[in-house]
Amino acid sequence: MSDAPDIFAKFETELDVRPDDIDLYQHVHSTRYLDYVLAARFTQMERDYGMSMQEFTDRGLGWFMTSSQVNYKRPLGLGDRMVVRCWIESITERGCRVGFEIDRLPTRKRSCDGFCDYSLVDLTSGRSVAIPDDVRKKYSI
């Protein structure tokens, strides 16, 4: 077994700031950045990993966020377009850490970055379960 860390592919999804994303201070509300990550991940799960969230649901499984960290750099505002870049940082027996970066387009200046930790759960029991081998294989690209 190698001591080298696993290196996983990074995927990008472009999104627009919507009027309802704007807060009292005329920039994107802090909670919306995680919404952008989730929207990008749903697209990337189907498009890039070949396994949509619906396929997990059909198997009685779901990904639940257990923690997150967002490091804010520059605010996004109304009319801005962004690229949300996500990748698997690590996979454990029952979950994974997804790293992300959100950059404003067209300059690609960093708006924020961070990570989200997810646990795979059985939707009936609500308990965490081991990641099936076929899912681990798809996510290890």
Query: 131 in a domain, yes or no?
Result: yes
The whole-number pLDDT of residue 6 equals: 65
The predicted pLDDT at position 141 comes to 82
Q: CA separation (Å) from 21 to 25, 46, 59, 101?
A: 11, 25, 33, 18
Residue 23 pLDDT greater than 60, yes or no: yes
Bridge partners (DSSP) listed for residue 87:
10, 99
Domain assignment of residue 77, given as a range:
10-139
**pLDDT score at 140:** 84
Q: What is the pLDDT of residues 91-109, one digit of tens each?
A: 999 999 999 999 999 999 9
Does residue 80 carry a pLDDT above 60? Answer: yes
Is 57 inside a domain boundary?
Answer: yes
Whether 98 is covered by a domain: the verdict is: yes
Whether 3 maps to a domain, the answer reads no
Q: How far apart are CA 27 and CA 78, in angstroms?
A: 7
Alpha-carbon torsion, ordered 53, 59, 65, 71, to 10 deg: -30
pLDDT range class, residue 3, cuts 50, 70, 90: very low
**Residue 123 belongs to a domain:** yes
What pLDDT digit, counting tens, does each position of 5-19 carry?
Answer: 567 999 999 999 999
Number of domains comprising the chain: 1
Query: What CATH number does the domain containing 74 carry?
Result: 3.10.129.10
Domain presence at residue 2 = no
37 in any annotated domain: yes
**Residue 1 lies inside a defined structural domain of this protein:** no
